[in-house]
Amino acid sequence: MKKITTKKYHVSNINCVKCAAKIEHRLSKIDGVEFVSLDFANQTLHVKAADLNQVINKAKNIEPNIKLIPKNQMDNTAAANESPTKYLLKKQIVLLSVASLLFAVLLVFEEWIHNRSFTHLDIVLALTAYLLAGANVIRAAVHTIKKGIFFDENVLMLIATCGAIGINAYTEAVAVMIFYKTGELLQELAVSRSRRSIHALLETMPNKAFLLTRNGIKQAEPKFINIGELIMVRPGEKIPLDGKILEGNSQIDSSALTGESVPVLAKPGDLVMAGQICKTGALTIQVTRKFNESSIAKIMELVENATARKTKTENFISSFARYYTPVVVLLAACIAFIIPVITGSSFQIWIYRALVMLVISCPCALVISIPLGYFGGIGLASRKGVLVKGSHFIDALSAVKKVVFDKTGTLTKGIFKVKEVVNLNGFSKDEVMEFAAAAEIQSNHPIAVSISNAFTQKGGCLDISKISEHTDFSGKGVTARYGDYSILVGNDKFLHLKSIEHHKCILDSTVAHVAVNNKYAGYIQMGDELKPDAKKAMKALRDHGIDHVSMLTGDNKCTAKAVANLLDLDSYHAELFPEDKVALFENLSEKGKIAYVGDGVNDAPVIARADVGIAMGALGSDAAIETADVVLMTDSPLKVAEALSIAKLTRRTVWQNIILAFVVKAIFLTLGVIGIATMWEAVFADVGTALLAVANSTRIIFKDKI
């Protein structure tokens, strides 16, 4: 059995969204293809198959003009392929301009030509203009017919215009072809503009770094720099890799990553991300992640792949288009040949009306504007620091009615400070702190980090070699050996689970209990603060139609209650293990779409279970970020409301396009059948609707305020 391989290809010379849908549909029928998606907006073919060569050969057979370039070769070949594409576009514009000029001459001098008895000159001018304008359409239609496909938009346009010529409606045949090609070119330009806007985000990817070596400063590509090496970033330059500042202070601009326009001060010890811009001072940074694992690389990958997975709406419209066109053609045939027989009317009149139906039957407005709408929504979200991992999550977000938050690191800063140390059973306060620090020093939980920092700041010193058997119990606490001592640090439930008798705490703060050799030594009272925009976020969620906001936390009940009261939450549940969170979440999600927002490892199971899982990306754990459907780059709960707003705007725009297309087509199909609409009006309606839908979709991308 052949190994399944996943690969991405850049697709050039594809300017028709229906062609893209046709390629995708027919490739999906090949044996051994597990997944295929041709992302027209991004010009990317995503393939997961046993035989990639078979898929590529089939794609080229379907559309011989397309070129497929593996994404990893794009750096060398993209520029080379850009010129032919521009040349073909210019050639089409020139041919269309000449055709339009001939058509204008025909219209202006038609009567003069007849009066001068220039036999058939008007027909020659009309046919010349027709062939110049429709050369690509005719060629594509012939290629399609050879394959036994008769319901392609090019075939329909050829049938409609040749039919018009057949009944001596030369002027209308030429007009239809010219307007159709004009509309196609305008659509292509609109889509290209949308692509450029999203590619502008991709250009934030740093392409050089200045490596500090023993022999001085050396310029290098970021992808060749290793963890632990030192780089220098000067004012005005992009930070090329994720790292920790060792020397220097600077204002950092994070707008490309997070959408936040106000620079923040970064100093030694602070973490910085690739893609941020160093504004005011030079920095020496120690690299903490390789380039392909950096924040900017993950963002680029998410944005690039986001539209590969189609929404239910997109899939429905693609399927609808495949059946809609044949039905309209069948109706047109009935109108052209059956109605005249039944009524005894003129065949020419009813054939003309049938041709009007064919002109307006093309579903381009639907097929192109819907994916472009989702594309725009994802692009806008990424500019605002909200990474949506797929178009289908836009739909899910727009339908969310309940939002559930984790507490620590999500609604609160997750930066704990030791407020008080209580010692019991013969242990001193210093001993309680030392044992707690010994157990927590190998953990990255915010409480663990705070205890370790507090112990160090008070002059404490641990013998690391004595620490062993460290075990992290997610949502409960940690255990470790420190020399001859067996240490446990955790919450109240963890002590009950281990049957350790302990002091009954009724505190309005977070508490870490400490036990040594199964004997209760005391507890450390911790303080955390709400994030500055947490209250504003709750109000914004209510304004966006969220009818229930809840909180699930492993912290004690008193602390949870205090936070819930401050934020006016609808409900809260405290002292939960990760499995408890999942069970409670199941109960909350019985009715309506529900989102969960978290940042820790213990949040990953609930994030995976939610209709929309949202992770805090700047400080969140890798497990939460990998599992999530949406990643917030600023760790701000206010971004949740922003994500909902973008999703609702995108969904609203998509449905505006659907309704617009259906209403206009229904009106003009009816007018065409009863003989009111001419072919001129039909082509204006078809092209105009497509252009309006495309313009409506692209406005999302350039929207600043939401």
Which residue's structure tokens are 């939610």? 610
Question: Which pair of structure tokens corresponds to residue 42?
Answer: 């991004």
Q: What are phi and psi of 452, to 5 degrees?
A: -60, -45
d(CA 161, CA 169): 9
Which residue's structure tokens are 């920095």? 283
* Burial category of 119 from C-beta neighbours within 10 Å (exposed 0-12, middle 13-18, buried 19 and up): exposed
Give the CA-trace dihedral at 57, 61, 64, 66, to 10 degrees.
-50
User: How many other CB atoms sit within 10 Å of the CB of residue 342?
Assistant: 7
Write the CB contacts of 127 (distance below 8 Å, at least 6 apart in sequence).
165, 170
Element (H, E) at 400: strand 400-405
Q: What is the CA radius of gyration of the chain?
A: 32
Query: Please, are residues 350 and 334 in contact by the beta-carbon 8 Å criterion?
Result: no
Q: 458-484 burial string, b = 16+ CB within 10 Å, else e?
A: eeeeeeeeebeebebbbbbbbbbbbee
Q: What are phi and psi of 400, to 5 degrees?
A: -65, 135
Residue among 15, 64, 73, 85 nearest 43 (CA): 15
In DSSP terms, which residues pair with 530 in a beta bridge? 412
Residue among 697, 634, 100, 695 nearest 394 (CA): 697
Question: Which pair of structure tokens corresponds to residue 557?
Answer: 């009940």
* Burial category of 79 from C-beta neighbours within 10 Å (exposed 0-12, middle 13-18, buried 19 and up): exposed
DSSP codes joined into one string, 407-469: STTTTB----EEEEEEE-TT--HHHHHHHHHHHHTT--SHHHHHHHHHHHHTT----GGGEEE
* Options 39, 122, 253, 406, the catalytic residue: 406
Write the CB contacts of 386 (distance below 8 Å, at least 6 apart in sequence).
259, 630, 631, 632, 633, 639, 642, 643, 646
Residue among 283, 274, 281 nearest 254 (CA): 274
**Can you tell me whether residue 70 is helix, strand or coil?**
strand
Per DSSP, 610 falls in state S
User: How many other CB atoms sit within 10 Å of the CB of residue 29?
Assistant: 9
- Residue 406 appears among annotated catalytic residues: yes
Question: Which pair of structure tokens corresponds to residue 212?
Answer: 């500090």
Which residue's structure tokens are 């959408």? 259
Query: Please, are residues 526 and 490 in contact by the beta-carbon 8 Å criterion?
Result: no
Angle value at C-alpha 432, between 430 and 438, nearest 5 degrees: 100
User: How many other CB atoms sit within 10 Å of the CB of residue 142?
Assistant: 12
3-state secondary structure 187-243: HHHHHHHHHHHHHHHHCCCCCCEEEEECCEEEEECHHHCCCCCEEEECCCCECCCCE
Strand 277-278's sheet: what is its strand order? 264-266, 250-253, 277-278
Query: What residues act catalytically?
Result: 406
